Amino acid sequence: MPCLNLTTFLLAVLVFASLVCPARASNLLPGFSKAPFTNEQVREVRTPEGIRAVINAPLEISNQRPTLVVFYATPNGNTIEQTLGAEMEPGLDWHFDIQHIAAQTRRLREVNTRDNIVIVVTQADERSWPAWRAKHADNADLIRTFVESTTEGLPGSPLRIAMTGHSGGGSFLFGYLNGGEAIPDNAVLFAFLDANYSYSNEDRHGDKLLAWLKGSPERRLVVLAYDDREIALNGKKVVGPTGGTWRASFRMIDRFRRDVPLCESTSGDLISYTGLDGRLNVILDRNPANKILHTVLVETNGFLHAMTLGTPDEGRAGTYRGPRAYTGFIAPLEVTYSVAGTTAFRGIPPRKSTAPGGHAFMNSIASLGLTAREDAIWSQLKKGNVPDFLRNFKSLRIRWSDSARRVHTGLIHVMPDYLAVGSNTDFVRVPMTPMTAQRLADLYGCSLITRRISDIVYSDAELRLDPKPMTENRESVSTFIAHNDIIEGQRAGKPLGMLTCGIKKDVVLTNLLAAKPTRVAIYGWHYTNGTPIQPLSTVHVNTYVDYSHGIRFISRECVVDGKKRDIEQIMKNPDWCALVSDEGPLTVRRY
């Protein structure tokens, strides 16, 4: 055998290691899940005061690079999903095609490889930031607190923020300005994309912006607007005699000119007012054809232009008011998911203080035969001997297209972990037959899940643990307990109630059971790279139970297109079934 030199030997070791221990495909941040179709991770957050946000970060995010967190406030009437945008298809609302902030961000990441670029798209529950601010007297403090809390824990140094938005989204920016006498030092950009309606000298907006700009050469202000004074819709002027962004922009220009010289220049229909070495830019479209350009300013690379103007990337991401430079980065809508929040589920009876702990109960049934064991499990769980953390179901938001390419949205509520017996401080995840699980599902107002829901849970999981298969005494209660304790060792230091996967196979519903009604269907046990150990299988009879089987319930009450529906309606409806099924309508909806 020929001798290997050191370099060849090390290379061989690295190749072997890559085969045996493949590198992780992603570096998911806490609470984030991998976004479909793209090299991104996403998280959804909500506040009690009615702020909703979707945070989109690169899948690979480095601690060694600076991080720029861009807060983009939605325009009046638009959802976050519409603001992020999607590939247009028949029946899709036109609002998905007017901003494309997701695609423009992807293009920006391609151009700017120096920074981790995180985009936070914010929406008020009222779909109107001016209305939301009017409802909350302390809106300025709420906005500042939201921005600060959202950036906490993100990697990268330094961590800087950019504030931007379109139309009524500018109200979010002005609320942020009103939140203190000074703008925080880590803010490096304000960009009003036809969004400066609320500019006010009385509220000292100009004073604060100028003081902030003068505080660091890294800071930039960009205003994009157009002459909207005479535009009309259905024969009626859109803005009043003192309103609109054209007039607001000149209020800003007049204020800035009192402190700094501005250079005026013209290029085609655009007039630019520039100061502070190019860090202050107000760019106005004279709009000689008197068109409504409100959304066009964003669509024609407006976000990209504002993000790069006055930086080394100026001119590289696309031409302002030119053809879309981000077309290749627009993702199809089809199916996307995100964790929408937590819902207190009230279908499980309350746990009595005298109920046994999980380990004591499981040890007490270790010597029982299957029938007696299942009866004992049913008896404990029907009385509510279930840990409290399992009663806070996770709400998952799902979007899909039906066979006619009509887009639907849905909301499901799933148990965060597998069904267990005991208390929060002493519980054991309990495998059982699908018949016992079905009885409990009926009692609780739930259903068993499907393969599709198992995959969605993996996609949105807040905690992914590596599977730990066991090979001996797979059907014994002692192995059930030992496997649970292994999982708890893996989970040490993590809070209860996180949406968790990678620890059990799912007992699922599937149309395969129509031909084999006496079998149990199992699927899942995903590795952290997304591959399930167990393909969908009906090989075992329905009285077979081993340590790897887990029961995760979904609430029967779901939402489709804004209306509450029972899950059975959804499972059998050809247009709605894709919310929960990847097999088409389900003919087998229970055990």
Put simply, whether the predicted model's pTM sits higher than 0.85 gets the answer no
Q: Which residues contact 66 (CB under 8 A, 6 or more apart)?
A: 114, 115, 116, 156, 157, 158, 159, 160
| Residue 476 CA from chain centroid, whole number | 40
Percent of the chain topping pLDDT 90: 77
Which DSSP symbol is given to 551? -
**Could you read off the pLDDT of 289-299 as tens digits, one per residue?**
999 999 999 99
Higher pLDDT, 96 or 363: 363
Dist CA 187 CA 118 (whole Å): 14
- Tell me the one-letter amino acid at 409: T
Where are the chain's structural domains?
Answer: 49-329, 336-579
**Could you read off the pLDDT of 521-535 as tens digits, one per residue?**
999 999 877 788 999
Return the pLDDT at 335: 46
Return the pLDDT at 533: 93
pLDDT at 338 over 60: no
Range of lowest pLDDT (216-230, 401-415, 429-443, 486-500): 401-415
Extract the tokens encoding 251. Answer: 């209020």
Return the pLDDT at 302: 98
pLDDT at 17 over 60: no
Give mean pLDDT, residues 427-449.
97
Dist CA 195 CA 393 (whole Å): 38
**Could you read off the pLDDT of 176-187 as tens digits, one per residue?**
999 999 999 999
Beta-strand ranges (E) seen in 32-166 are: 33-34, 40-46, 51-58, 67-73, 116-124, 159-166
Give mean pLDDT, residues 210-220.
97
Average predicted confidence (pLDDT) for the chain: 91
Q: Is the peptide bond before 416 cis (omega within 30 degrees of 0)?
A: no
Give mean pLDDT, residues 247-261.
97
Higher pLDDT, 404 or 425: 425
Give mean pLDDT, residues 43-70.
89
Task: Please check whether the domain covering 49-329 is classified as CATH 3.40.50.1820.
Answer: yes
Percent of the chain topping pLDDT 70: 93
Q: Which residues contact 80 (CB under 8 A, 6 or more apart)?
A: 52, 53, 54, 74, 121, 122, 123
Higher pLDDT, 400 or 101: 101
pLDDT at 342 over 90: no
Mark 468-485 as b/e (b = at least 16 C-beta within 10 Å): eeeeeebeebebbbebbe
Give mean pLDDT, residues 1-22.
34
Return the pLDDT at 235: 85
pLDDT at 435 over 90: yes
